[in-house]
Amino acid sequence: MSAQSTVIKTNTVPRLRARKGGEPIVCLTAYTAPMAQLLDPHADLLLVGDSLGMVVYGLPSTVPVTMDMMIAHGAAVVRGASKALVVIDMPFGTYEESPAQAYRNAVRILQETGASAVKLEGGVVMAETIRFLTARGVPVMGHIGLLPQSVNTSGGYAALGTKDTAGWDAIIADAQAVAAAGAFSIVVEAVSEPLAVRVTESIDVPTIGIGASAACDGQVLVIDDMLGMSNRTPKFVKRYAELGVAIGEAAAAYAAEVRSRQFPSEAYTYRLKGDNRGPGGTGT
């Protein structure tokens, strides 16, 4: 096997599941092919999150995100990734009604994007649906803890299990139910570190933390958050770059040069072949 073929060898669901307790799994969100190409060499898993509703479309939450949005961006990410496993969020309202509804929509996502798995939110209440999907060949990533799609009923994005241990048992039960139903990994969002430890120790599939401490088997961040391209920075986000500032500065420099006619200069202007006139075409 050549070095090239080794590099582009695609991660698979069984390989990711087998990482439980091993080298931490690196996961980032991606919404476009160019970003997927940049992240692919470094990430084990690329999540096409319904966070694109806020990040890409400027929506107030993930609730208005549609299947068509997820499929369009999911297909783009799949085209840009050659190594990382690509997982796509199922949007709000596309899987809660029944296992049959979830299956139809999950199959559509996988068929129209080429992704390897879907992700859905919910614990004990979604176990039957997850079991239905996995029994029929649809790999599922679970999501417990803070559930962004349920923001209208939860009342906000507050971290869970930080004040006391009340509610811990329910979240642990959610993790166990989702794992027992066949999910190959579970995102654990915005919970206290000791609760994340308990959750991770209580199941035999990898936990992927987002605001859930290093106790998890892997980590995920929204790419725009970690690159400094979002206005709001949650407590659990480390900004590894400040691309938002850099983009603003670049746009300001461009605007100034356009207005002063410094751009495009001669170096960026097409001439007829054989035209040796100087800048501006004034001749000699």
Residue numbers annotated as active site: 189
Phi-psi region of 151 (alpha: psi -120 to 50; beta: other; left: phi over 0): alpha
CA distance 157 to 145: 11
35 phi and psi angles, rounded to 5 deg = -70, -40
Tokens of 185: 């990994």
The response to whether 50 counts as a known ligand-binding position is yes
The response to whether 119 counts as a known ligand-binding position is yes
Task: State the DSSP string of 70-108.
Answer: HHHHHHHHHHH-SSSEEEEEPPTTSSSS-HHHHHHHHHH
The response to whether 89 counts as a known ligand-binding position is yes
Q: How far is CA 155 from CA 64, 152, 158, 195, 235, in A?
A: 17, 6, 9, 21, 18
Please report, as a single letter, which amino acid is at residue 189: E
Mention every residue, 6+ apart, whose C-beta is less than 8 A from residue 50. 62, 65, 70, 89, 91, 92, 148, 149
CA distance 118 to 139: 7
Strand partners, 118: 88, 140
Compute the chain's Rg from CA coordinates: 23
The response to whether 20 counts as a known ligand-binding position is no
The response to whether 249 counts as a known ligand-binding position is no
Q: How far is CA 190 from CA 205, 230, 236, in A?
A: 19, 18, 8
CA distance 140 to 113: 15
Q: What residue numbers does the annotated binding site for 3-methyl-2-oxobutanoate cover? A: 50-51, 89, 119
Binding site for Mg(2+), by residue number, is: 50, 89, 121
- As annotated, the binding site includes 50-51, 89, 119, 121
